[in-house]
Structure 1
Amino acid sequence: MVVRFPAVGDAVLLTVLLNALAERYGRPVHLLSSGEWTPVLLGHDPALSELRLVASRRSPHWLTPSRWSAVRWLRAHRGPVYLCDPDVHGERIIARAGIPEPRLVRAWQHWPGDGIHWADWWLQIAQLDAADVPGPARVPQVPPRPRLVVPAAWHDEAGQWLQRLGLAQRPLVLVQPGHKKTYKRGRLGTGTHDKHWPAQRWATVIRGVLAELPDAAVLVCGSAREAGLAQAIVDAAAVPASQGLVINGAAHQLTLQRLAGLAARAVGMISVDTGPAHVAGAMDCPLVVLYGQAGWKRWKPRSASGRVIALGPCEPSPDAKVMDIEPAQVLAAWHALQREEATA
């Protein structure tokens, strides 16, 4: 049993742990989690046996039926429990379920610091044992990179979506300007965030990409509530029809399923440090990713065959901002990425 309440990127990274545990124990893993994106991203993975979701970890227990169900489910479980969140919310669920300490693997008691990538750390956690229920004494032969198991229907639907937008015959470039804190408390609030990059800078990069690929379509990605942000970038780019297309993808129901399908066929993505970049990396989409305070050493997407170029600090840096990165740096990285992909 794994207990983990992930954001989108965390869910993608978690596939390394699930895969490693399933291989080590010889059977799929149970997962207690949260977020409407989690069953979308993980629901087809053969490493996952059963997934239960908690609707809210912060609301009172007596008002949250999904927590009652989670506690009953945990109580019925007799194997090791890998607790992979350090906050009090997971602890409270574990305590209510009465899981004894010798059946717990507390991942964050083994955190070696920010110098390790999530994928490498998850492989280390998969080799740990709960005192009362040790696992098989074998090291799982799992690559230290995430995976997404995507049904063929997602690819088909992404193709149909492109067809409806008139983009099916064009090379596709994805731009991901938003992140999970772009839209907070009912409004866009990117200006003071360390991952903020203004529309004019995105526009400069888009024009540079289309100067090299005039037949391409640039799809500005995002959730429906980020459609205004995406439109500001489209408007700032002001690209004539003869020089390529710039489309507000956020205004056209760009679901995670569609994003995965699109990433599999795109020539590349340019993104801030955010979950959709990890989705794209897992789909082998070539990536340029812009980092602020968190740095990229722990968070850089990993891909089986797609090249990933990270810009910004390697290590966490409290004063770093994506604004420190110039459009010329992004375009240089993009051109390098395309040259490498062309010769691969």
Structure 2
Amino acid sequence: MPAPPVQPIVIWFGRVGDLILLSALLEILHRRFGSPCHVIGAGAWPAEIYAAHSDVARVSCLHRYTAWVFDPAWWRTRRALRAGRAGPVYVCETDPRKLARIRRLLRFSGIEAAHCVFLARESSLDTALPHASTVAPTHRGDAQTGVDTALPRTSKVAPTHWVDRLVSFGRLTPAAFNAADYPWPAPAPRCAPLLTVSTAARAECAAWLERQGWRDRTLILVQPGNRRTMRGRRLRVSPADDKAWPLERWAALLRRIHARLPQALIVVCGAPRESRLLE
């Protein structure tokens, strides 16, 4: 007899890019446990990203900088967790301060430790972005489609990509569940992020492109900056910022793109303040 479906709970207080990468894990958990996921994040963007996603049934958004006792969203999420305590909990957060907030939420919600797995604990990760590892997984792609069709292999030289970490994390099963009851999906999952864009968002984008006169143009969007470049009063690209790339390399890349696709329109994206990086 097949195991009854249960709803996976996935928690990550990441930024926009992190939450898009998370979709690789959500598909795996949806297919393993037979029910779309409950995603818990911080900030407004998780709800926007997953509003129309087939692997997500519910999104809870906590306020990023509000103390939990004063955050109505925290209490709503606690009630939802108490009502859904039967499901597995996958905690993707690795930042110690954010992990403390998540552990408090789980404790106050009555979630048993046997229902939880933590990416930081299982992978012995630090709080940085992917680092070199002697056991780092690398993508294996389908020869015809180029899409990942199997679990990552190991490599002695490749850095561990966040997608590989999330895919490997999706293979784990909390102690309260029998892994044999919730096997790896077949056929194999895509093991890659998928951003689902709603019909309304597509229509809004099409209208904006029409107003710009770009409807029939090939667009290439590039964002050289990131949130770390805007910290403090001065804009700067720090050598310690592993999300940054030297501006001269961005310039060289854009020249090569233009040479390869001279008819394309290259659009540099970012916050208004970031425009000074490109002057």
Q: Tell me whether the two structures share a fold, i.e. TM-score over 0.5.
A: yes
Gaps in structure 2 of 5+ consecutive residues: 1-8, 126-130, 138-160
- Aligned mate of 1:31, from 36, 39, 44: 39
Equivalent residue for 2:225, pick from 178, 199, 202: 178
Contact 1:190 1:196 (8 Å CA) reproduced: no
Distance change in 2, residues 1:192/1:102 (3 Å) = closer
CA distance in 2, matches of 1:147, 1:74: 26
Match of 1:132 among 159, 176, 182: 176
Alignment of 1:1-344 (within 5 A): 1-56=9-64, 59-78=66-85, 79-86=87-94, 87-111=99-123, 114=131, 115-116=136-137, 117-134=161-178, 136-140=181-185, 141-185=188-232, 187-193=233-239, 194=241, 195=244, 197-198=246-247, 202-203=250-251, 205-226=253-274, 228-229=275-276, 233=278, 236=279
- Structure 1 residue 25, shift from structure 2 partner: 1.0
Q: Deviation string for 1:180-227 (max 9, x for gaps)?
A: 212224x452243542534x664555455435544332211113443x
Q: Which has the higher helix share?
A: 1
Shift of 1:153: 3.4
- Give the aligned residue type for 2:59: L
**Partner SS for 1:30:** strand
Q: Deviations over 1:45-95 (max 9, x none)?
A: 111111111112x54322222212222222222222222223222112112
Q: Distance in 1 between matches of 2:172 and 2:24?
A: 15
Q: SS of the residue aligned with 2:22?
A: helix
Amino acid at match of 2:183: R
Identity %: 31
Q: TM-score, normalised by structure 2?
A: 0.71
2:5 is aligned to none
| CA distance in 2 between partners of 1:61 and 1:52 (Å) | 14
Q: Distance in 2 between matches of 1:131 and 1:204?
A: 50
Secondary structure of residue in 2 paired with 1:2: strand
Native 8 Å contact 1:31 1:51 kept in 2: yes
Distance 1:203 1:3 in 2: 37
- Structure-1 separation of matches of 2:221 and 2:273: 18
Give the secondary-structure state (helix, strand or coil) at the position aligned to 1:181. Answer: helix
Q: In structure 1, what residue type is equivalent to 2:113?
A: E
Please give the TM-score of this superposition, normalised by the length of structure 1: 0.59
Q: Over aligned residue pairs, what C-alpha RMSD do you find?
A: 2.5
Instruction: Measure, in 2, the Cα distance between the counterparts of 1:70 and 1:202.
Output: 41
User: How far off is 1:129 after superposition?
Assistant: 2.2
Q: How many residues align?
A: 228
* Counterparts of 1:205 and 1:120, CA distance in 2: 26
2-side partners of 1:212 and 1:101: how far apart?
A: 53
CA separation of 1:197 and 1:125: change in aligned 2, threshold 3 A: closer
1:131 match: secondary structure = coil
Deviation digits for residues 143-181 of structure 1 (CA, Å, limit 9, x no counterpart): 221111122333333232222112223332222111121
Q: C-alpha distance in 1, partners of 2:182/2:252?
A: 54
- C-alpha change, 1:36 and 1:59, in structure 2 (3 Å) is closer
Deviations 1:303-344 (A, max 9, x none): xxxxxxxxxxxxxxxxxxxxxxxxxxxxxxxxxxxxxxxxxx
Indicate conservation of the 8 Å contact 1:81/1:105, yes or no: yes
Letter in 1 for 2:68: H
